[in-house]
Structure 1
Amino acid sequence: MKTLLRTLLFLALIVWLGAEVFFPVIAAVTFTTLAPDTHAAGSIVGQLLRTLHWMGLIAGLVALLLLAIAPTWRIYKPHSVLVPMVLLLLMIGATAYSQFGIIPSMERDRIAAGGAIDNTDTSSPQTIHFNKLHRRSTLVEEIVLLFGIATVVFVARAESVRA
């Protein structure tokens, strides 16, 4: 049972971090392939980002639950799971902020700009705000990835001090 729970924990982390690592590659390929139609590319990437966020939220909650019960099953020592759990909470919070805060606001800006943000004046308030949110979204994803890598490091450390 211990092996199964650790395997599920690792799988949850792999799913989330794998998606975070490969998302920029998929976004770049999408924009390169659809270069003349950045609106279509943006729509596709936006939908992929929403899917990535749901994957991350579910995988994060699964990993958090498994880390919470791990000391009870004597998989890890209680103190060794605290830092990974805090990091997972921060990752879940950042992902939720992006999913339910940033993306809807970007969508409102896109609609207010007439449906295609790339067809608007770059000095319009909607375009400026959209671009600001896009930079913030990118930063949030980078933070989630860095915290995810740190989580893996601390889970690996927990493995070395297992009960």
Structure 2
Amino acid sequence: MNKLAESLYALAIAVWVGGLVAIGYLAAPVLFAQLSDRTLAGNLAGTMFSAVAWVGLGAGAYLLLYLLVRRGWRAFKSSVLWIVLAMAALTVAGHFGIQPILAQLKADALPRAVMESALRDRFATWHGVSSGLYLVQTLLGLWLVIWQERGKR
């Protein structure tokens, strides 16, 4: 059972961080480069970002549970636990905080595309905040990949 838990720990990190990198730095840029309809590209990218957020929340929950069961209260002295908590907090902030703001700005701009409306600057600002948080989350994820063995000790 211990080997299964360790394997799931490594898999959760791989899926979460791999998803962040694949969607944010491969799939989304390709969508915008290849699709002439930027609204469609944005909607598809948004759907993928939402999926990776839910994967992250599930993976983060498992990682936190694994670390707490494995190390007990000593887990709070582990940098791995704090990285996972920070990544989970950024996921929550992005998915439940910033994404609804972006969706509301898009809705308020209708029937025009948000980037062709008076709300363009606000949307761009919030999109920039979202992108910055996503970058920090990805960098933390890469750090987690490098330090994942520390969580097993």
TM-based fold match above 0.5:
yes
Which of 116, 138, 144 does residue 145 from structure 1 map onto?
Answer: 138
Structure showing greater radius of gyration is 1
Distance (Å, rounded) in 2 between the aligned partners of 1:139 and 1:37? 24
Instruction: Please list, as runs of the form range in 1=range in 2, the aligned pairs for 1:59-138 lying within 5 A after superposition.
Output: 59-71=59-71, 78=74, 82-115=78-111, 116-120=113-117, 124=118, 126-138=119-131
Distance (Å, rounded) in 2 between the aligned partners of 1:44 and 1:81? 40
TM norm structure 1: 0.84
Pick closer, same or farther for the CA change 1:128–1:10 going to 2, 3 Å.
Answer: same
Letter matched to residue 144 of structure 1: Q
> How many pairs were matched up?
151
SS at match of 2:78: helix
Unpaired runs of at least 5, structure 1 = none
2:46 is the alignment partner of 1:46: yes
Instruction: Give 1 or 2: higher helix fraction.
Output: 2
Letter matched to residue 16 of structure 2: W
Unpaired runs of at least 5, structure 2 = none
RMSD: 1.9
CA contact (8 A) 1:91 1:148 kept: yes
Structure 1 residue ranges (4+ consecutive) displaced by more than 6 angstroms after TM superposition: none
**What's 1:11 paired with?**
11
TM norm structure 2: 0.90
Pick closer, same or farther for the CA change 1:7–1:133 going to 2, 3 Å.
Answer: same
